[in-house]
Amino acid sequence: MSHATLYSFRRCPYAMRARMALRYSGIALDIVEVSLKAKPPEMLALSSKGTVPVLHADGQVIDESLEIMRWALDQHDPQDWGLANDPEKRALTATLVEENDQVFKLHLNRYKYPERHPEHSAAHYRSEGEVFLCKLEGLLETRKFLASGHLSLADVALMPFVRQFAHVDRQWFAQAPYPRLQEWLQGLLDSELFVAIMAK
């Protein structure tokens, strides 16, 4: 198994999902915790984007969290997170990840920092984000996980963002009409995998 270095920031949702996939795949890893105020020059030399996560493995540099996840699964995917033999579920995963990263993340940022976006209230931004939550709740009506009957890339790629959304106002989320999503999120937060990648 290859050895790799990951430049990460513990609370960044993109870094979280990368760390979960790398740990699941059993990649031997040095994790460099990056201070966002003083980014290490060696990280900037690898990726001029200056954002985490950045993976340096086998002489290659990957600086997109989703690509890091896919690379990890290419190395070792014992529980079929990649849904190898199911093109339909892989297509659903791609759709969900795109909506999460391109649309939901935008509403999440505005809901989390409404003072930076004074055009609307936090409640307005929250209701925009809820469109995605409703969609996820609907998927969980028929199965335990988002794209399949078992944990897959879709769950792990989205969970850190749903977690962030839920934590903006925990009281609100606890009583919101998303019982299956709440259970799904709690299950992942309590998982050995998530607990391990969040250990300080």
Q: pLDDT digits over 103-115, tens only?
A: 999 999 999 999 9
* Chain segment 32-80, per-residue pLDDT in tens: 999 989 999 999 999 999 999 999 998 999 999 999 999 999 999 999 9
Give the mean model confidence (pLDDT) for residues 4-29: 97
Q: Assign a CATH topology to domain 3-78.
A: Glutaredoxin (3.40.30)
Among residues 112, 5, 105, which one has the least CA distance to residue 58?
5
How would CATH label the architecture of 87-194? Up-down Bundle (1.20)
| Residue ranges covered by each domain of the chain | 3-78, 87-194
* Chain segment 146-162, per-residue pLDDT in tens: 999 999 999 999 999 99
Question: Hey, do 3-78 and 87-194 end up sharing a CATH topology, with the first three levels equal?
Answer: no
Structure tokens at 192: 């050995």
In a 13 Å sphere around the CA of 184, the CA atoms on its Cβ side amount to 31
